[in-house]
Amino acid sequence: MRVYIGFDDTDNIDADRGTGKVARWFENELPEGCQMKGVLRQQLLVHENIPYTSHNSSACVVIDAPDPSFFELLTAKAIAHIRRHSLEGSDPGVCVASNGNGRLQRLMEFGKECTAKVVTQGDAMEAAAGFHLSGHGGTNDGIIGAAAAVGLSASGWSGRFIEYGRLREFPGRILVSELEHSNILVTSVDRDAKVPAPDDIVHTKDWLRPRLWGGRAVLLVTPKGEGAWESIGGKRNGRKG
């Protein structure tokens, strides 16, 4: 069973960590038999009518569990986790959903809505009906981002991995073959048709963050000379995840 756990708004402007880091820490809480497949950062709409700490992003932990009986246990652990790590002044929320439920499609649609328009807590609760959605402090506005994180991640076509296997152990220069051995597909976004070869080098700028495309981790690169590529994007100053 695939389980998605969304976290949002656990920090404040003075915090030394963001919601992404809190989500990554959840791996330490997993019961025996469960495996974390990755943690995704989801970017939501930045708008003057939407309060947020820094960038209006939320995070989703993707977990494989042996069977549906783990859903309640994972939910209880997620609630305890966000209560333990959310900071004063935050508006934390948590959403837990699983595949095999027809309502997941509505959460996917809601996630997309959160990237394009202002939504309400009521909209989030309607979209998450049949799953778990709860607020744990302040205005409870974090339920919106938590639900959106789950929906976008479950769609298989949105988000950036901030945890995925040995992601944070890779060096700044790495072979294409080593990335693909770690189930990270290296794909060129250059206008020419050349495909990265197994022995080519990828320059990650010490910031390797594959995208979620087609349900798998995909690293987007551009040419950097013969047999060399560079991953797109880079670390934004002040990011705490």
CATH number at residue 157: 3.30.70.2200
User: What does the block give as tokens for 142?
Assistant: 């974090």
Q: What's the structural domain count of the chain?
A: 2
Domain-located, residue 238? no
How far apart, in Å, are the Cα atoms of 7 and each of 71, 125, 173?
16, 15, 32
Residues 47 and 155 in one domain: yes
Q: Please check the confidence at residue 67 and state whether its pLDDT lies above 80.
A: yes
- Higher per-residue pLDDT: 230 or 234: 230
Mean pLDDT on 18-43: 95
Per-residue pLDDT, 52: 57
Point out the least confidently predicted range of 129-133, 135-139, 149-153, 189-193: 189-193
Mean pLDDT on 82-101: 90
Residues 13 and 84 in one domain: yes
Q: Quote the pTM value.
A: 0.92
Classified as helix, coil or strand, 96 is strand
C-beta of residue 217 within 8 angstroms of C-beta of residue 161: yes
Classified as helix, coil or strand, 88 is coil
Residues 142 and 193 in one domain: no
d(C-alpha 53, C-alpha 137), whole Å: 15
Domain final position from 126, 161, 196: 161
**CA dihedral over 56, 233, 36, 12, signed as positive or negative:** negative
C-beta of residue 39 within 8 angstroms of C-beta of residue 59: yes
Please identify which residue in the block is written with the tokens 């309060």.
51
Residues 185 and 147 in one domain: no
Q: Please check the confidence at residue 16 and state whether its pLDDT lies above 80.
A: no
Per-residue pLDDT, 234: 81
Per-residue pLDDT, 14: 65
Q: Residue 175 is part of which domain span?
A: 170-231
